[in-house]
Homo-oligomer: A and B are copies of this chain.
Amino acid sequence: MATDPDPGTPAAPRARERSTRQFEAVRDELARGDDFRSAQDIHASLGARGTAVGLATVYRALQTLADSGAADSLRSPAGQAVYRVCGQVHHHHLVCRSCGRTVEVQGLAVERWAEKTAGANGFSDVEHTVELTGTCTPCRTTSS
């Protein structure tokens, strides 16, 4: 359960060093909308548009974007990794378990709770992951 002993390497966040047509294509395709997309999905759209990019490259680009914070990523209930361009301000997600509709939410309350709780237990440099899942209004009225 404990993370790698983290030898000497500061977990090299292998930042991007060169600019390529493929990477930009993925970035643009993701930015084309504000919803969560899977790697396969992006790969297909890109191909259909004539801007073909290898599937492996799409996966790599998406991961890099997520690592750098330029994109959010989460697991769809189906188990796929999905990505979306991320806003700058710190926020969390409220996702509809039925249609995937997502709302970015914030809250001083959680932030404070996280900080306080961690501190009370002697933890520092706290980070937190918060995801809310529910059923949105349209889906609720429809499915019943």
A86 within 8 A of B: no
Q: Indicate if the CB atoms of B99 and A123 lie closer than 8 Å.
A: no
A27 within 8 A of B: no
| Number of A interface residues in the complex (CB < 8 A) | 48
Please list the residues of chain A having a beta carbon within 8 angstroms of any beta carbon in chain B: 1-3, 6, 35-36, 75-77, 79, 81-82, 94, 96-100, 102-103, 105, 107, 109-110, 112-114, 117-118, 121-137, 140, 143
23 pairs, A vs B, C-beta closer than 8 Å: A1-B36, A2-B98, A3-B97, A6-B98, A6-B143, A75-B79, A94-B117, A96-B123, A97-B125, A97-B127, A103-B123, A105-B117, A109-B109, A109-B110, A118-B134, A121-B136, A123-B134, A126-B132, A126-B134, A128-B131, A129-B129, A129-B131, A129-B133
